[in-house]
């Protein structure tokens, strides 16, 4: 595991990023593409958001509110796993610390 830059990412790579209080385990579906702009503070080239897959689970929980009523809510959490990804999203990786978990061409 090592840190990489956005220009080193290729299709099939498995990466991890920090997002709020979670780590997201992402599989890259589409190679990063330049968007023709530069970043404000560093003047480095800027990239479009990268298409990735990840796993998010929904947890149902029940509690009693202040009136004594039973209330059921659903909380969504990111799972840090390479298996059974169930969500596709676009992630802005500009100015992010990216950990390379597994390169696409590495054998298991």
Within a domain: residue 63?
A: no
Ordered per-residue pLDDT tens for the chain, 108 residues: 899 999 999 999 999 999 888 899 999 999 999 998 998 888 889 999 999 999 999 999 999 999 999 999 999 999 999 999 999 999 999 989 999 999 988 765
Within a domain: residue 37?
A: yes
Within a domain: residue 28?
A: yes
Q: Say what the pLDDT of residue 107 is.
A: 63
Range of the structural domain that residue 37 is part of: 2-56+82-102
Pair 50, 9: CB distance under 8 Å: yes
Tokens 């610390």 correspond to what residue?
A: 97
pTM over 0.85: no
Total tally of structural domains belonging to the chain: 1
CATH number for the domain spanning 50: value is: 2.30.30
Q: Say what the pLDDT of residue 108 is.
A: 52
Q: Say what the pLDDT of residue 106 is.
A: 72
Ordered DSSP codes for the chain: -EEE-GGG--TT-EEEEEETTEEEEEEE-S---EEEEE-TTT-PEEEPPEEEEEEEEEEEEEEE-TTS-EEEEEEEEEE--SS---EEEEE--TT--EEEEE-TT---
């Amino acid at each position: 595991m090592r840190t990489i830059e956005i220009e080193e990412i290729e299709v099939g790579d498995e990466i991890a990023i920090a997002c709020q209080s979670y780590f997201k385990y992402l599989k890259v579906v589409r190679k990063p593409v330049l968007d023709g702009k530069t970043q404000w503070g560093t003047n480095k080239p800027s990239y479009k958001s990268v298409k990735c897959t990840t796993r998010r689970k929904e947890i149902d929980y029940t509690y009693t509110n202040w009136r004594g009523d039973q209330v059921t809510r659903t909380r969504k959490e990111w799972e840090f796993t390479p298996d059974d990804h169930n969500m596709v999203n676009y992630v802005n990786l500009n100015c992010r610390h990216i950990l390379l978990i597994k390169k696409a061409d590495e054998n298991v």
